[in-house]
Structures are given as C-alpha cells and as structure tokens.
Amino acid sequence: MKKRLYWVFGGLFALSLILAVTATDFYVSSPDLQCTNTNNITSNRCLDGANLSLNGVYGELWMINESGYTFSIAVSEVYYNLTILETDELEGFNNSNGTLTALHEGFYSGDFHISFSGQTGSTHGAAIMINGNRHNACYNQRKLGSSDVGNMGGTCIFELVKGDNITLGIDDDDATPNDISIITSNLNVVKIG
C-alpha cells in the first residue's frame, strides 16, 4: 500500500510523528523533502530503511561594529538598504551587497533587528524590503532619546518567487534627515512552505 507524506507547516516534530505511524513504503510530494534509500538512490519514494531529509532554505545577513558604523540618510522617508552585511549561513539564496536573492518560490518567515544611536529626538524606521518595497507586516519605528542606543526588530511571513530580492531598509521619518550609527544588525529569512 502506498502512503503519501505531506510537508506540514509546523515543523519537524509533525514530520517525525507522521513517519513514526506510517507504513515502511511511502512517497513525499515536496521539493524540500527527499529520501535516500539503502541503495543510495535519491527519489520521492521512501522504502524501508530510507533516510528522509529536509532541504533547508535559509539566509542570514549580519553586522557588528561596536564603535558604530555611520549610515547616511540623505532624504527623509526614503528607504536605504544596509549593504555592509556579512553572511555565514546561506542555502537557497544568493547574496550580493546585503541583498538576498531567492532561488526558490514559497512562503518564508523573515526576522530582523537593528541597534543604533543618533540625534536625540530623531525617528527612524526599519523594515524587510522585498524588491525595493517595504513589507508593512515587518516594519518597526523608534524615536531616540538622549544618548540612546535604540533597538528595533520585526518578524513576518511573506511569499517569494524565484529572483525576488530581500534587503533590510532604514529610513528617517523626520522633516530633516539624520544619519545614524549602527552597532548591530541581523536579517534572517527561512523557507517555511
């Protein structure tokens, strides 16, 4: 009897539970899952003794500059991409100058944080940008106090197609733009479906 295994939003726990109760011969129907059978042939059919693996798609960009990196903002309410981010963890994305380019379509979870200082009373926003457009579900804003090191962050879910570009955008919401000094920043994107 053939049984079909489906990738379930909710993670590996649900996946391992399904594997524990299914028959020894089943099929997977997601490009993110594959079986390597005992004869080392990879396919969508999982035979008795097969190893099931998840092909993770993820990207992380980050920076740390304890003395502060001056980020120039020339025009108010215009987003500027943070381009000096480094990467250690990258699978299923290309990275160039702080831009993650998706190699797979699907639903993704995005997360960012940024800590910075700047002019007292200045208001700044940060957001995950998709193809140069602010993703409103992943936007945050902060007004700085005196000698403040502010922190902003956000988490959201969005859909990408192959070739979409993801960046971390920063703006100044004041009438007169003010530069900021960035201490740390991190942008994470993980395919969830």
Structural domain boundaries in the chain? 3-54, 58-191
Q: Give the SS3 label for residue 97.
A: coil
Determine the Cα–Cα distance for residues 33 and 96; give it in Å rounded to an integer.
28
Q: Which amino acid is at 19?
A: L
* pLDDT bucket at 98, cuts 50 / 70 / 90: very high
Under DSSP, the state recorded for 19 is H
In this structure, the number of other CB atoms found within 10 A of the CB of residue 64 comes to 12
The residue ranking higher by pLDDT, 60 or 13, is 60
Q: Give the SS3 label for residue 66.
A: strand
Q: In angstroms, what CA-CA distances link 136 with 93, 117, 127, 154?
A: 22, 23, 8, 10
Query: Mean pLDDT score of the chain, rounded to an integer?
Result: 81
Mean pLDDT lowest among 11-15, 48-52, 76-80, 167-171: 11-15
Determine the Cα–Cα distance for residues 187 and 100; give it in Å rounded to an integer.
10
* pLDDT bucket at 36, cuts 50 / 70 / 90: low
Tell me the pLDDT tens digit for each residue of 111-125: 999 999 999 999 999
Mean pLDDT lowest among 39-53, 131-145, 161-175: 39-53
Mean pLDDT on 133-138: 96
| Site of tokens 């956000």 | 154
Q: Which CATH architecture has domain 58-191?
A: Sandwich (2.60)
Determine the Cα–Cα distance for residues 116 and 41; give it in Å rounded to an integer.
51
Instruction: Give pLDDT, residue 76.
Output: 93
Instruction: Give pLDDT, residue 56.
Output: 84
Please report the beta strands in 48-179, taking only residues with DSSP state E, as ranges in sequence order: 51-54, 58-71, 80-81, 90-91, 93-96, 99-102, 106-118, 123-130, 133-143, 149-160, 165-172
Does residue 27 surpass a pLDDT of 70? no
